DNA sequence: CGAGGAGGCTTACGGTGTAAGCCTTACGAC
DNA sequence: GTCGTAAGGCTTACACCGTAAGCCTCCTCG
């Protein structure tokens, strides 16, 4: 960069905290979270591991930063949605909230490792908080009391950011793997087989699997259509909130 | 043990896989998940690290086993609940399901690290599956179609086991710490202060915090009363499921 | 009694995050 | 121009992690 730099900025290097974080995100996207080590990140950037410590305090700080990058992406995606007109009816909080959350979800689907990291943070990203603030704003416009909003945010939990931890995905989420997907399928099949094997002990479970049939997935991860299930759960909560909001009215 | 052992059991050692897993649970309870390493676990048992590998295949297997122990505890706690009488009305699925889930939760509250481990498993514990089977059974008795049951299980997600990942607990969950709790409080206060500092950027968030007032917690972890919030979210889902079940009826 | 293996132990390797310290370079003040 | 300062690289080294390989000593069973 040959441009004159702002008043107290770093002098010569093209390497900045921002570039480090960006690189970390790409690396995690490509090779999975497990592959994101200080040494491998440094290699990616063409420097030595210890040099990273001039831009991030330690690995926790790196992960904080990486979360912040993803959160910024979320905020950006949400920002692209068309704003509610000022004269929108009170009831429009619900589709609006739904849209924002699903927009956030598209971002997290691009970074499958991010949910894990998000959950492990103990400090929070300002971008996330700003996103939350917009969700709260929507509910307020819907006539929610702050008390109800507060409960609502807790009830949504991580779903507000677009993910919900599925127990039992026989593979998924762990590494990039980037394979043809037959590995996941294999694991899912193996799991199902194992369940069938003890059918007498798990009557309802087995019967359910037989009936619901986990066959035609295709869309996302192995077993079920996560997107459908995510929206099902989300709508369940939104409907419930709607009823509670109605009840609050005088 | 001086008793004659059953037909193909291990010969002399008092150390068994069961004892290893038990020890691992106690260690994690006392010192946190981070303190559970092969070496520290071995020290706890008075042996060398490598000796553990005669009882568990590797660390993943150890964690699988540890999850299984906790899941067995859950199954046990659920088993202690009084069974539904045969002539219970169809509608009793709901309080029964609620009771089972809250019973599972009491177990997980005794092992705060367990939720993290549970989520990280890719194979599943038979005890967990059996527990799930009982939940499914309850819903079936409530007249749910298998399709609805399936959606319901996804919607409940980890909540079925008694935990929901709270975004933003300023401390908690990471280590035993066993301190007076003032550390958590400090972190929570610091976080709140930081939020207040940018009140102009987060109008709704700050107003909500001011109104809801996160002051009188006392019960569980730092910020909010997790138990209340957990039950709120759980009831929101159960109510929603009840309505859908009604709608399914002819 | 002798073979075999279960279950300890020791040693060693590669990988992790990171503390400590050195060397170069660019910048701002004189 | 010169020089002090410090940003930002690099090298080395340490503690700790999971675990592969191999040794030894019993106990058990044929």
Judging contacts by C-beta atoms under 8 Å, the chain A residues touching residue B126 are 198
Predicted confidence (pLDDT) per residue in B144-197, tens digit: 999 999 999 999 999 999 999 776 665 444 333 334 445 566 677 777 788 888
Are both B177 and B124 inside the same structural domain?
no
Q: Is B223 exposed, middle or buried (CB count within 10 Å of its CB: 0-12, 13-18, 19+)?
A: buried
Are both A241 and A212 inside the same structural domain?
no
Distance A243 CA to C17 C1' (A): 50
CB A136 within 8 A of CB B214: no
Are both B90 and B192 inside the same structural domain?
no
Distance B51 CA to C6 C1' (A): 11
Neighbours of A11 (CB within 10 A): 5
Q: Do residue A166 and residue B174 have CB atoms under 8 angstroms apart?
A: no
Q: Is residue B164 part of a domain?
A: no
Confidence of residue B219 (pLDDT cuts 50, 70, 90): very low
Q: Using a 7 Å cut-off to protein CB atoms, list the covered nucleotides of chain D.
A: 7-12, 16-22, 26-28
Q: Is residue B3 part of a domain?
A: no
B212 touches chain A (CB under 8 A): yes
Are both A137 and A52 inside the same structural domain?
no
Are both B119 and B18 inside the same structural domain?
no
Judging contacts by C-beta atoms under 8 Å, the chain B residues touching residue A241 are 236
Compute the nearest-CA separation of B2 from chain A (Å).
Answer: 34
- The mean predicted confidence, pLDDT, of chain A is 86
Q: Cβ neighbours of residue A249 under 8 Å, at least 6 residues apart?
A: A143
Q: What is the C-alpha to C-alpha distance for residues A56 and A58, in angstroms, rounded to an integer?
A: 6
Are both B236 and B139 inside the same structural domain?
yes
- What's phi and psi for A11, nearest 5 deg? -75, -65
A193 touches chain B (CB under 8 A): no
Q: Is residue A1 part of a domain?
A: no
Position B246 pLDDT exceeds 50: yes
The whole domain housing A185 covers 169-222
Residue after which a domain boundary falls, among B22, B56, B90: B56
Three-state secondary structure readout of A72-99: HHHHHHHHHCCCCCCCCCHHHHHHHHHH
Q: Using a 7 Å cut-off to protein CB atoms, list the covered nucleotides of chain C.
A: 5-11, 15-21, 25-27
A50 touches strand C (CB under 7 A): yes
Q: Residue B154: which of A118, A129, A233 has the nearest Cβ?
A: A233
Q: Is residue B147 part of a domain?
A: yes
Residue after which a domain boundary falls, among A6, A24, A56: A56
Q: Which residues of A223-243 are buried (b: 16+ CB within 10 A; e: fewer)?
A: bbbbeebbbbbbebbbbbbee
Are both A218 and A233 inside the same structural domain?
no
Q: Do residue B155 and residue A119 have CB atoms under 8 angstroms apart?
A: no
The ipTM is 0.88
Spatial CA neighbour of A95 closest among A195, A238, A232, A243: A238
| pLDDT value of position B173 | 40
B122 touches chain A (CB under 8 A): yes
Q: Is residue B8 part of a domain?
A: no
CATH number of the domain that residue A31 is part of: 1.10.10.60
Are both B138 and B241 inside the same structural domain?
yes
Number of domains within chain A? 3
Q: Which of A62-66, B146-150, B217-221, B240-244 has the lowest mean pLDDT?
A: B217-221
Q: What is the C-alpha to C-alpha distance for residues B121 and B111, in angstroms, rounded to an integer?
A: 16
Are both B38 and B127 inside the same structural domain?
no
Are both B23 and B45 inside the same structural domain?
yes
Confidence of residue B7 (pLDDT cuts 50, 70, 90): very low
Q: Is residue B150 part of a domain?
A: yes
Q: What is the C-alpha to C-alpha distance for residues A35 and A24, in angstroms, rounded to an integer?
A: 10
Are both B99 and B153 inside the same structural domain?
yes
Are both A155 and A235 inside the same structural domain?
yes
Compute the nearest-CA separation of B8 from chain A (Å).
Answer: 24
| pLDDT value of position A212 | 85
Q: Do residue B204 and residue A168 have CB atoms under 8 angstroms apart?
A: no
Q: Do residue B174 and residue A126 have CB atoms under 8 angstroms apart?
A: no
Q: Is residue B5 part of a domain?
A: no
74-93 of B, contacting A, C-beta below 8 A? none
Q: Is residue B4 part of a domain?
A: no
Q: Which of A43-47, B108-112, B216-220 has the lowest mean pLDDT?
A: B216-220
Stretch B215-226: mean pLDDT = 54
């Amino acid at each position: 960069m040959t441009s004159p730099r702002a008043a107290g900025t770093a002098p010569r290097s093209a390497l900045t905290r921002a570039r480090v974080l960006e690189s970390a995100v790409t690396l995690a996207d490509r090779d999975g979270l497990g592959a994101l080590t200080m040494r491998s990140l440094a290699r990616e950037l063409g420097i030595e591991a210890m040099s990273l410590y001039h831009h991030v305090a330690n690995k926790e700080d790196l992960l904080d930063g990486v979360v912040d990058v993803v959160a910024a992406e979320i905020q950006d995606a949400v920002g692209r949605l068309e704003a509610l007109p000022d004269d929108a009816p009170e009831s429009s909080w619900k589709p609006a909230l739904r849209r924002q959350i699903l927009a956030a979800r598209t971002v997290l689907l691009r970074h499958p490792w991010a949910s894990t990291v998000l959950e492990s943070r103990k400090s929070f990203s300002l971008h996330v908080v700003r996103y939350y603030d917009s969700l709260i704003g929507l509910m307020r416009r819907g006539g929610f009391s702050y008390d109800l909003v507060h409960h609502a945010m807790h009830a949504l939990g991580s779903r507000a950011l677009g993910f919900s931890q599925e127990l039992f995905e026989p593979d998924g989420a762990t590494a990039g793997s980037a394979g043809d997907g037959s590995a996941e399928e294999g694991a899912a099949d193996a799991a199902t087989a194992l369940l069938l094997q003890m059918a007498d002990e798990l009557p309802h479970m087995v019967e359910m699997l037989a009936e619901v049939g986990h066959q035609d997935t295709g869309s996302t991860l192995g077993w079920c259509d996560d997107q459908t299930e995510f929206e099902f759960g989300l709508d369940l909560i939104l409907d419930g909130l709607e009823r509670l909001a109605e009840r609050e009215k005088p």
